[in-house]
Chain A
C-alpha cells in the first residue's frame, strides 16, 4: 500500500466509488450476472494500483478470473477480500493524513 500525496484529493471519491461497486457486485451475484462482475473487476485491477493500492488490484485480478470462469464462490471470496481491504486502505490513509 502506498500513499501518494499528489493523489490524496482523489482518494475519498475513489473509495466511495468502490463502496458502490461492492453493492453492485453483491447485486450481480444475486442475479448471476458474472459478466458485469468481470467488467467491474477488470477496471478495479487497472485502477487500484494506480491509486497506490496494489493489493486491491490483485483482488480485482482474482475476481476477474473467477467471474470469467463462472465460479460465484470464488467471486464471493474475492469480494470479501475487497471489503476487508477497503477498510484497511481507509485506516492506512487516515494514518498517513495524521503525519
Chain B
C-alpha cells in the first residue's frame, strides 16, 4: 500500500444530488482527482482504468448494492488492496459491523458535512497508512 498522500478518489453513488455535492466537496474543497460513478456496474467498468487511492461506496443502490459492488471490485486484481469506505444513511451498529466485516476500512454516515468530508477521508487514509 502506498504511503503517499491521498490524491485520487473514486466514489459510487446513485443519487445525482449527492454526486453533485460530493463532487463539489471532494474536488473543489478537497482538491482530489475524482471519478464519480452512478452505479455498481459503472464502477466495475470505470474504476479499474482510474486506479484510485480510495473508493467510497454507497450502500443502498438499485440493481447492484454497495456490498455486492464491494465484492466484485475486490475480484479485480488491480483493486484488491484499494481501501474502500462505505457511505450510508443506515448506520445501525449491526449494519456498520457487517460492512467492516466485509473488509471496508470505515463507514461514513449520511448526511455528511461537505466542508469536513475531505478531512474525514484524509484521517481515514492516515489510519490506513499506519
Contacts and interface: CB of A to CB of B under 8 A. Distances in A.
A46 B114 CA distance: 12
A47 B58 CA distance: 12
Given A7-B21, A17-B17, A49 B60 contact: no
B111 A46 contact: yes
Given A6-B24, A10-B20, A10-B24, A47 B111 contact: yes
By size class, the interface of chain B is 10 to 19
Tell me whether chain A's interface is mostly helix, strand or loop, or mixed: helix
Contact of B111 (A6, A13, A54): A54
A50 B89 contact: no
A6 B15 contact: no
B29 A6 contact: yes
Contact of A7 (B16, B89, B112, B114): B114
B120 interface: no
B21 A46 contact: no
Nearest to A43: B15
Contact of A42 (B16, B20, B60, B114): B60
Interface residues of A, number: 18
Contact of A47 (B15, B60, B115): B15
Contacts of A6: 24, 28-29, 114-115
A10 B21 contact: yes
Interface of B: 15-18, 20-21, 24, 28-29, 60, 88-89, 110-115
Interface of A: 4, 6-7, 10, 13-14, 17, 42-43, 45-51, 54, 57
Question: 5 closest pairs, A vs B, by CB?
Answer: A49-B111, A46-B110, A46-B89, A50-B111, A47-B17
